[in-house]
Structure formats: C-alpha cells, structure tokens
Amino acid sequence: MSTVNKDITRQWVSMPGGSCDLRVGKGAIDAMGSILKGSVGKPRVCALASDATASAEVREQVRRQLTDAGFRVSEVTVPTGVSARTLAAVEQLAAELAAAKVTADDLICAIGGGDALSLCSFVSASWCGGTPLVHVPCDLLSAVEVGTVPWGIDIAGQPQMLSVRLGAKYVICDLNVVKAEPDAPESLTARALMATAAICDSEAAVQHLWDRAELLVDGDVEILRDQMAETAKSRGHIISSTSIATRQSAAFGQTFANAVARLVGPDVPRGLLLAEAVRFQSRIAAATGILKVDEVLTFDELLDLLALDPVSCDVDPDALVEALKAERFLRSNRFILCLPRGIGRVRPASVDDDVLHEHVEAWCASRAAL
C-alpha cells in the first residue's frame, strides 16, 4: 500500500518475517517522533548510532524527534565505510548497546551511509533476539538498497560473507538530507537497481519505471520520491517470496558486476556495470531459448532511457570467465547466473561453459570497440 501526504510518500514494504514502513520525501524526518512514539509500546531507550556522513544538524534533528517521542537517547558513533562491516565493529556496537541497556523492547536508530546502516541491521537482527531498527539514510544508494537488503559483514578477507535477511522496521528517507545529483555515480547505481528490481518483479513495475525514466534522469524530485517507494515495494516482494528461486533473483546482475569490477577497477560506476549485467545475462537467456529477443530489446531500451550507457573497457575474456567463476564459487558449489525468462520471471540457471565463453568473448569484443 502506498499513500502520499503532501511531499511525503508512505509505502508498506513486505519483508521476511514482517514489513517495513518507508517514508520518503522532503521533511520526512520532521514526522519521525509521531511515527515512532507507538513503535515499541512505551518508549524507553533508543540507541542513536551515526557515522561521519551524518551531519551534526541531522543528528540533532533526529535526536529531538526521538526525545519528543519519549525516548531516552544514547548516542553512539559507528565507523564510516567498509570498516563498519567488520566483526570488530559488530562487537563494539554490541558493547555500546549493552552499556545503554538496550533491550528487545527498545529501539535502535541508525543514521548514515550504507555500511553503517548495514552494521546496525546485522546487530539489531540478533540483539536480544531482535530489536526494532530505524534507518535514516544519508545518501541515495543507501536509501534504495540497504533498507530492504543490508550489505553483509566482511570476514576472512572476503566481502559480505555474513548477512541477515531482516532489514529495518522503519526507513525515514528525507530528500532534504539525501541529495541526488542525476549524473552522480550513486544515482546511476540507484537507477540500475530500480531497473533490476522492476525486471524481477512485474510488467507493471517495468511500465511504471519506463514512464518515469526520463524525468528521473532529469532529476525530478517528486518522480524520484515515487520511484523509490515503487522500487522498495518491488524489492520487498522479491525478498519475501516463499519461492527460494524468486528470492535469489534479488542478486540479479551482482555476480557479473562484481566480476567485471575486479578487472576494471573502481573508476567505472557500479550502476553501469549492473546495467551491463542485464544486457549480458539477457543475451545468454535469449541464446538458450528461455527469453524472447523482443524482451532483450525492451531491457536495452529501458537502460538507455535511464541513461545507463554501455561501458567502454578492455577486458580479457579468459580473465573475465575466471573472475565470474571465482565470484560464484565464493558462495556456491555450482556455477549459476540469474537469467530472465521474461519480465517478472528472473530465475537462477546453470550456464554451459561453451555458451559462457562465447558470450564473454562477444561482450569483451564489443566493449573494447566502443
């Protein structure tokens, strides 16, 4: 269910074991107190965890909303960037929660970037068996991705090996705080995530994104607000499905994007690599006869409308195949990719080595020629 109140859109998002109440729009923080007052019965303690990306003004604004709701606020500082997603950071945050005497009947409120929000998601899911969590994202990527699918904890030198399926109970995305320059790398990634979520979800989701694409690229704030709510709904529908295959489609594009990123480095925006993954995997699906060519062209046009242009790069095909397998075998004993069988039907599938090599060589040749 989605409702709009002046500048704020409210969206209930299905989540494993419950739901998430998303509020997105200008001034969303100003309504936090009234929203959270009844969130945990009688308000008592709230641990307010923030990283360096949260300005002093935003922290004070959120703190006042929490105290107005009746919470005794205990402020906690958490690391910024990938150092937040470590066991050391988990242990430190847990110690802070213990010192503040936070229980399962209390609240954790996290302000900051995706790494800090993901840390708080990981800890809140297990603290006292599960403690309600509020996200206040400070950037667009965190707002679009982390509330529903938190990033995992890095361990043993490997990325995101420990993860939880539970996201936040509330996401308060204030577009006065979250700045979204249309050409910024995080905006490209957000639009790519909007595309993959819509393709995995339904024809209606794709049509809504298609209709909004040009205005999203132009930076229309109202369109961005409504599409963020739509994308959260799509992602929630996917990750809360009773079908394991459907839930696995939440990772659509991630394997290919991660593998290429290993070879081209950090200068290529992740959003463009995710778009390349959609192009690459849809062509494999068409070659194996499970996707119509017309739908491949539909995906291409949608990505073009979202200004997610093909990447110019020089990648060795054998190195890319090796990187793809390394990425998959890190978490599974089988080499599978999420392949679209149609809009709303993205499913894991085995890919024959010959087919994989053929398409990798074609992709590398085409991108080197750009």
Complete DSSP assignment for 184-205: SHHHHHHHHHHHHHHHHH-HHH
Structure token digits, residue 28: 């969303």
Q: What pLDDT, on the 0 to 100 scale, is given for residue 148?
A: 87
Q: Assign 204 a pLDDT band (cuts: 50, 70, 90).
A: very high
Q: The tokens of 151 are what?
A: 């990033």
The rounded distance, in Å, linking the Cα atoms of 238 and 353 is 29
Residue 11 exposed, middle or buried by CB count within 10 Å (0-12, 13-18, 19+)? buried
Q: Is the pLDDT of residue 1 over 70?
A: no
Would you give the DSSP letter of residue 152? P
Residue 38 pLDDT: 81
Residue where the block lists tokens 């990527």: 141
Q: Is residue 2 predicted with pLDDT exceeding 80? A: no
pLDDT digits (tens, 9 = 90+) for 213-271: 999 999 999 999 999 999 999 999 999 999 999 999 999 999 999 999 999 989 899 99
The amino acid at residue 166 is: L
Quote the CA–CA distance of 123 and 90 in Å, as a whole number. 6
Amino acid at 267: D
Report which of 77, 142, 97 is spatially closest to residue 115, judged by C-alpha positions. Answer: 142
What values do phi and psi take at 151, rounded to 5?
-70, 150
Contacts of 220 (CB under 8 A, 6+ apart): none
The DSSP letter of residue 144 is I
Q: Which fold has domain 197-368?
A: Dehydroquinate synthase-like, alpha domain (1.20.1090)
Which numeric CATH code is attached to 2-179?
A: 3.40.50.1970
Amino acid making up residue 198: A
Domain ranges of the chain: 2-179, 197-368
Do residues 160 and 151 make contact, with C-beta atoms less than 8 angstroms apart? Answer: yes
3-state secondary structure string across the chain: CEEEECCEEEEEEEECCEEEEEEEECCHHHHHHHHHCCCCCCCCEEEEEECCCCCHHHHHHHHHHHHHCCCEEEEEECCCHHHHCCHHHHHHHHHHHHHCCCCCCCEEEEEECHHHHHHHHHHHHHHHHCCCEEEEECCHHHHHHHCCCCCCEEECCEEEEECCCCCCCEEEEECCCCCCCCCCHHHHHHHHHHHHHHHHHCHHHHHHHHHHHHHHHHCCHHHHHHHHHHHHHHHHHHHCCCCHHHHHHHHCCHHHHHHHHHHHCCCCCHHHHHHHHHHHHHHHHHHCCCCCHHHHHHHHHHHHHCCCCCCCCCCCHHHHHHHHHHHHHCCCCCCEEEEECCCCCEEEEECCHHHHHHHHHHHHHHHHCC
Strands (E), 16-117: 18-25, 45-50, 72-77, 107-112
In this prediction, what percent of the chain has a pLDDT beyond 70? Answer: 98
The amino acid occupying position 136 is: V
Task: Please check the confidence at residue 28 and state whether its pLDDT lies above 60.
Answer: yes
Average pLDDT, the chain: 94
- Euclidean distance between CA atoms 134 and 32, whole angstroms: 10
Q: Are 116 and 50 in contact (CB under 8 A)?
A: yes
Say if residues 88 and 147 touch (Cβ distance below 8 Å).
no
User: How far is it, in rounded angstroms, from Cα 360 to Cα 66?
Assistant: 52
At position 142, the amino acid (one-letter code) is S
Residue 6 has pLDDT above 90, yes or no: no
**Token digits of residue 314:** 């020089």
Instruction: Express each pLDDT in 301-358 by its tens digit.
Output: 999 999 999 999 999 999 999 999 999 999 899 999 999 999 999 999 999 999 999 9
- DSSP letter (8 states) at residue 150: P
